[in-house]
Amino acid sequence: MSKTAFLFAGQGAQAVGMGKDLAASFPTARALFDQANTVLGYDLASICFEGPESALTQTENAQPGIYLVSWVALRLLQERVPTLQADATAGLSLGEFTALAAAGTLSFEEGLTITRLRGRFMQEACDATRGGMAAVIGLDEGPCREVCEATGVTLANLNCPGQIVISGELDRIPAAVEAAKARGAKKAIPLTVAGAYHSPLMSSAQPRLSEALSRVQLRTPRIPVISNVTALPHGPADTISAVLVDQVTSSVRWEASMRYLLAQGFTRFIELGPGSALSGFLRRIDKTAQAFTVSDVPSLEATVKALGGG
């Protein structure tokens, strides 16, 4: 029997209009957006639906916004295909919180509140530092790691074969880009980002996130949830908070996470939330894996049909 994993997007997947057609088409979705507004005390739904983009891209809005749209996509798919069960979950950076909520480690409301705070803490860390990031295309991890060591930056995201993101002090990024090209990268492109995510420059967010997580009673996941830090399933409840705090400054080991699931016999992956980047990464990792997305009404209908739902 095939195994199914639910995948959840991270920051960068946000787009003005996300979730709007779902809320207009399904009462369950509209109710969840209304509930989120009540929990947070401001109109996050309107920012997701109408923007402006400058507001949506603010980290403290983007993170709970992506979490919310991902949760809506999950609930609608479960509503339409009630027999569908995930055998594991995983999420990219921010998406790990959605993955944990889907596995019962924290409630929808708790996850929404924590991602809002996490976004705020990370934005403040960005504002207090001068950080940058760059995408490196067509260079393996080993040479890329050597580039990082030589130029004083770090590996932020190991997404899939040939796609790595580096992170560090803004004035070090140009040298790292040139060094990557010299080592054979097809492309090395500075990214337009607020700061150096998944690098030591985010460390000021960690104690504040730890304190926020201490106010939540985390529960052991019902199904395996793959950690970005270890690329292995999270352990018992009392170990999860520390790993989530480590994740703020650690590399996101996405390719290794997907290879772990593939090695465990997972063949079907459903990406829930805005965008389709994770499905694209998966195709680069293993072309034989089935990948579905649920981000809007057309993709929901297509996935429901493919899964044999009503």
40: helix, strand or coil: helix
Q: What share of the chain is helix, strand, coil (3-state, %, to 5)?
A: 50, 15, 30
Give pLDDT tens digits for 13-26.
999 999 999 999 99
Query: Are residues 207 and 265 both part of a single domain?
Result: yes
Domain harbouring 282, CATH code: 3.40.366.10
Confidence check: pLDDT of 135 > 80: yes
Confidence check: pLDDT of 310 > 80: no
Task: Report pLDDT for 84.
Answer: 95
Q: What is the mean pLDDT of residues 244-267?
A: 98
Query: Are residues 35 and 108 both part of a single domain?
Result: yes
pTM of the model: 0.96
Give pLDDT tens digits for 114-132.
999 999 999 999 999 999 9
Vertex 209 angle, CA 35 and 108, to 5°: 25
Task: Report pLDDT for 192.
Answer: 85
Q: What is the mean pLDDT of residues 201-207?
A: 97
Domain harbouring 185, CATH code: 3.30.70.250
The answer to whether residue 195 sits within a structural domain is no
Query: Are residues 207 and 80 both part of a single domain?
Result: yes
Task: Report pLDDT for 2.
Answer: 82
Give pLDDT tens digits for 145-189.
999 999 999 999 999 999 999 999 999 999 999 999 999 999 999
Confidence check: pLDDT of 89 > 90: yes
The answer to whether residue 268 sits within a structural domain is yes
Task: Report pLDDT for 308.
Answer: 85
C-alpha to C-alpha distance for 31 and 56, rounded to whole angstroms: 21
Identify the burial level of 61 via C-beta atoms within 10 angstroms of its C-beta, where 0-12 means exposed, 13-18 middle and 19 or more buried: buried
The answer to whether residue 45 sits within a structural domain is yes
Query: Are residues 285 and 222 both part of a single domain?
Result: yes
Query: Are residues 41 and 182 both part of a single domain?
Result: no
Report the number of distinct structural domains present in the chain: 2
Query: Are residues 33 and 180 both part of a single domain?
Result: no
DSSP 8-state secondary structure symbol assigned to residue 204: G
**pLDDT band with cut points at 50, 70 and 90 for residue 208:** very high
End-of-domain residue from the set 146, 164, 190: 190
The answer to whether residue 93 sits within a structural domain is yes
The answer to whether residue 164 sits within a structural domain is yes
CA distances from residue 267 to 81, 94, 121, 139, 291 in whole angstroms, order as listed: 18, 24, 36, 27, 9
Task: Report pLDDT for 92.
Answer: 98
The answer to whether residue 141 sits within a structural domain is yes
Query: Are residues 240 and 294 both part of a single domain?
Result: yes
Give pLDDT tens digits for 259-292.
999 999 999 999 999 999 999 999 999 999 999 9
Task: Report pLDDT for 1.
Answer: 66
Query: Are residues 118 and 135 both part of a single domain?
Result: no
Positions marked catalytic: 93, 198
Confidence check: pLDDT of 201 > 70: yes
Confidence check: pLDDT of 54 > 90: yes
Q: For the chain, give the mean pLDDT.
A: 96
Query: Are residues 105 and 19 both part of a single domain?
Result: yes
Query: Are residues 272 and 225 both part of a single domain?
Result: yes
The answer to whether residue 139 sits within a structural domain is yes
Confidence check: pLDDT of 96 > 90: yes
C-alpha to C-alpha distance for 22 and 15, rounded to whole angstroms: 14
Confidence check: pLDDT of 210 > 90: yes
Which tokens is 12 given?
């960068």
Q: Which residue range forms the structural domain that includes residue 205? A: 3-127+200-306
Query: Are residues 290 and 158 both part of a single domain?
Result: no
Choice between 110 and 309, residue whose per-residue pLDDT is larger: 110
End-of-domain residue from the set 190, 214, 232: 190
Query: Are residues 120 and 136 both part of a single domain?
Result: no
The answer to whether residue 150 sits within a structural domain is yes
Q: What is the mean pLDDT of residues 139-149?
A: 96
End-of-domain residue from the set 146, 161, 190: 190
